[in-house]
Structure 1
């Protein structure tokens, strides 16, 4: 039996099996996923209406007592805080601990939570259940349990590194995201937390996923630090045909930014968790940067390649003065980068941008989708790494697009072309850092169908040590403004490829 007074009560509520940590393996979860896939889907139980209808403030008042962290009594570097079901989290999950004593289930215990409202405390069911868990690690000192990874709600999980704050989320899988038929949200229904050694720098978590169209087994090996990395192994079993399967999905928020109009009444310069999608094409070696927008209507974009090396949602803007929000601290939001450990074959990086009227909605989704059809009865294995950290988490070596500005192309400073846009893209870093201001840097720009590129040129921006690409382009009436551009020196590419897509009615000035 474990030592410590806090967990003696909890352990009395655990049920044990004789499988030890050394014997419990990923294949055990795979077998459970395979078995579930062979039967009809059954939706998990939901919590009582009272708990689903709690106000946001009431739910937030139910706080896990950090003095009761799992493994705190052993001064473990990794500790666990439990998330109560309620409000958004309507489906309880099963959480097991795998250690030298076996596999034990954590039964719900409301005494682990502080609830200052006595009436609310009385009404919370004694068998409510947990919605998920938070992992902690001592980023700020040996006695400080910093939360760095949260699994809660459907197949969502969020991670941060040492110097970032929670923002974007990841998911186990996405199913039919952005399609008119509607999206499915499979759930992680069971978790197994493998207890690490007291001073271990890594930890392993297993998860079982279940949904109407598929099941899955997941293994997460977690490495927190200056960057927090999750090595992911997954095995999916397809129940029914899936039109659009999303692998390694990332979900974020973009309300408005430097490249979009500021909504009426907003005083903050920008509001977003991520400002762009970065793609590393493993076939061409090209790096592509796509600034995000908040469209008027749902927009879905596809980047096709025969081999993907990596992709991610990035928060490149990390200056407080560009957000001026002391509460949200958007400049500290993490970036997330997905890198493939093997060849995933041909497919698309899919970007879904959903209209939103405020910052409370995660309206951006990016994922990898295979070219081959996903049919019932099929199986799919994959391995990848997901890293949370600062804007350079992708180790992109070239010049980067650090600003994108857009305005009307028919006014002073923009041009004299009705229906056109003036687009400015600032590049910095990489090889550009060693180029003299008078170097013969040239721009390469092209437009999509129906887009007329009227002019483009490059200027050195002396005050900020950047190179500015200026474009004047006009889309056909009611057409999408699609542009791509990069910089060259002596016939050598010195930057990533900047890409942009602006639907009709989403731009500034006369086109708004």
Structure 2
């Protein structure tokens, strides 16, 4: 039986030394692929398909196997891949015969030394003879994960640099990977990665446990080449086109289209859980949520009803949520949410990350440990009542109110302590408005058909001001729910005019 001796062959510290050495020298990007490969159409690139029968480790009866991704189209910088086993560290040279290409002319043109763009890890979720893809590393520092019952959607990233700033974002790359070969009966697999970019380098160790929830334990050490204005740690990237609280674009028949519907944050110091519904703004928006000691944050796909999407191809109700759990005390800082305008669902326009307090200066280093859970909305260990719906409309019409320039906002809460209450229970609401926002009224109602509680708010922002609101429910002087935090900028199509 295969008996790995990984510690003798390769360790995280080996990647750390590489990253440290690179950080002391000028940045040199990895040479790109030939122009014709970068210029392939989407269909041409997709026609270059890896042969699953040639997956790495397939011959050793390992439950974990590796499929390889060819460089081309979006992936213009090839990566180096190595295998770590009991015999040492072995580079994985590009092998054109691992791929099937339908077009004979294209097959001949694919260079024999093209290089790999990344890798896909597989695990037998659906039976011993099925290799289900569950984690993909490809493109810059992106990696995507799923659990047994979810389908690919949002992505995680190794790092975010100056995301959302007017100066423009920097995209460091994972340039080199080391795959530690697992024992046949192992419940986890380990991947090391080297990050390189103009402003920093980094060493990463990913220990991955696939299952009902797929957990990725991340260890990283970063080395700064340059001062960084906005460093984003443990970033998540997703898509929000429109949802229940936004207008449906003209011509769209589907009720909602999004990979995630909200940002969830846990402040471990105060105990507060905060839910922020996502928006597709008219112009780029960045919000900074101050946290004393971050327990975790994540982009969540809370709405799991097919009828709320009606898309048999995309199956948005199956898209995974991702929850980042901080290990140790990360100190004071902000969970940053960047929302970018998009005209369709093909753009990942949502980014969330942790930004530390204080300067990030050239010549410094930073250690980071955290885990990411991919799975259903239960990936976050949230004990309180949760927001299940947010509806927004004008506050000057029947059912909304009689206040010109105001909004009627309905927020539905369910679960946690609310599950033990009845329609006569003394549930009260607490609502505050941001600068220039007048909260005209708020009250709570029991919604019998749905067995949940509804917070109804009438609020009026000053002209050309962002409508910012926070609200939660209390029972017997105790907080019973997460805090709903909402930000509605002008130009969303929901703007009530005075």
TM-score where L is the length of structure 2 = 0.98
SS in 2 for 1:495: coil
The CA distance in 2 between the partners of 1:369 and 1:378, in whole Å, is 16
Corresponding position: 1:185 with 2:163: no
The CA distance in 2 between the partners of 1:21 and 1:511, in whole Å, is 66
The CA distance in 2 between the partners of 1:465 and 1:320, in whole Å, is 20
Q: What are the equivalent positions in structure 2 for 1:14-413 lying under 5 Å apart?
A: 22-413=8-399
Higher deviation after alignment, 20-29 or 349-358 = 20-29
Tell me the equivalent position of 1:475.
461
Contact 1:21 1:102 in 2 (8 A): no
**How far does the alpha carbon of each residue in 1:188-241 deviate from its partner, in whole angstroms, 9 at most, with x for none?**
000000000011100110000000000000000000000000110000000000
SS in 1 for 2:254: coil
Corresponding position: 1:416 with 2:402: yes
SS in 2 for 1:342: coil
**How far does the alpha carbon of each residue in 1:158-198 deviate from its partner, in whole angstroms, 9 at most, with x for none?**
00000000000000000000000000000000000000001
1:24 deviates by 1.0
1:257 deviates by 0.2
**How far does the alpha carbon of each residue in 1:245-297 deviate from its partner, in whole angstroms, 9 at most, with x for none?**
00000000000000100000000000000000000001211000000000000
Tell me the equivalent position of 2:471.
485
SS in 1 for 2:18: helix
Structure 1 stretches of at least 4 aligned residues deviating more than 6 Å after TM superposition: none
1:486 deviates by 0.3
The CA RMSD over aligned residues, in Å, is 1.1
The CA distance in 1 between the partners of 2:423 and 2:455, in whole Å, is 14
1:510 deviates by 3.7
Contact 2:467 2:489 in 1 (8 A): yes
**How far does the alpha carbon of each residue in 1:124-168 deviate from its partner, in whole angstroms, 9 at most, with x for none?**
111110000000000000110000000000000000000000000
**How far does the alpha carbon of each residue in 1:333-362 deviate from its partner, in whole angstroms, 9 at most, with x for none?**
000000011001111000000000000000
1:435 deviates by 0.6
TM-score where L is the length of structure 1 = 0.96
> How many correspondences in the alignment?
495
Contact 2:407 2:496 in 1 (8 A): no
SS in 1 for 2:413: strand
Show structure 2 runs of 5+ residues with no match. Answer: none
Contact 1:21 1:100 in 2 (8 A): no
1:75 deviates by 1.6
The CA distance in 2 between the partners of 1:185 and 1:502, in whole Å, is 29
Tell me the equivalent position of 1:14.
none
Contact 1:21 1:99 in 2 (8 A): no
**How far does the alpha carbon of each residue in 1:284-319 deviate from its partner, in whole angstroms, 9 at most, with x for none?**
110000000000000000011221110000000011
**How far does the alpha carbon of each residue in 1:67-114 deviate from its partner, in whole angstroms, 9 at most, with x for none?**
001011112100000000011111000000000121001100111011
SS in 1 for 2:252: coil
Contact 1:155 1:209 in 2 (8 A): yes
1:21 deviates by 5.2
Show structure 1 runs of 5+ residues with no match. Answer: 3-18
